Structures are given as C-alpha cells and as structure tokens.
Amino acid sequence: MQTSMLTSKGQVTIPVEVRKRLGLHPGDRVAFITEEDTVRLVRKEHRIEAAFGICKPDRSLSVEQMDEVIKARAGQ
C-alpha cells in the first residue's frame, strides 16, 4: 500500500508507483470517486481518447474503394 500525507491546503502527492500504474503525467487530470468511507482516484481521459471508437461504421470499405471515393469527391 502506498501512502501520502495531507498538507494544510488539502493537497497530497500521488506516489510515483501509482502515477506509473495509472500513466499519469504533469498536467493530467484525475477524478475522485467516493464510495461510503473509501475514495478511488482515477485518471480522467482526454476528450479524444474518450471519443475513440464511439462512432461505428455501418460497413467497411477496401483501400481501393476509399481511393475511388476520394477521387470522386475531388472531382477527378
């Protein structure tokens, strides 16, 4: 178990092992989830990461089909 001390301003240092495990870097945002007498610290995803995979295509295209669409839209 990793521990940290609370400062008079209510701040704590996240131990290096925890930062590594969560992939935290300076400037990253974290969230605190309270559950009765327990608090969980979680890494907040960046907006682009959170949106990744949210839009699912209704069909797939081959590379050749994508090239045809690009050419058609470019007016060639």
User: Ranked by mean pLDDT, which of 2-6, 46-50, 54-58 comes out on top?
Assistant: 2-6
- Mean pLDDT rounded to a whole number for the chain: 86
Residue 32: which residues within 8 A CB-CB, separation 6 or more?
39, 40, 41, 42
Scored b (16 or more CB within 10 A) or e, 23-40 reads ebeeeeeeeeeeeeeeee
User: In which band, very low, low, confident or very high, does the pLDDT at 48 lie, cut at 50, 70 and 90?
Assistant: low
Question: Is the whole model's pTM more than 0.85, yes or no?
Answer: no
Structure tokens at 22: 């969560």
Residue keyed to tokens 């699912």: 56
pLDDT at 43: 87
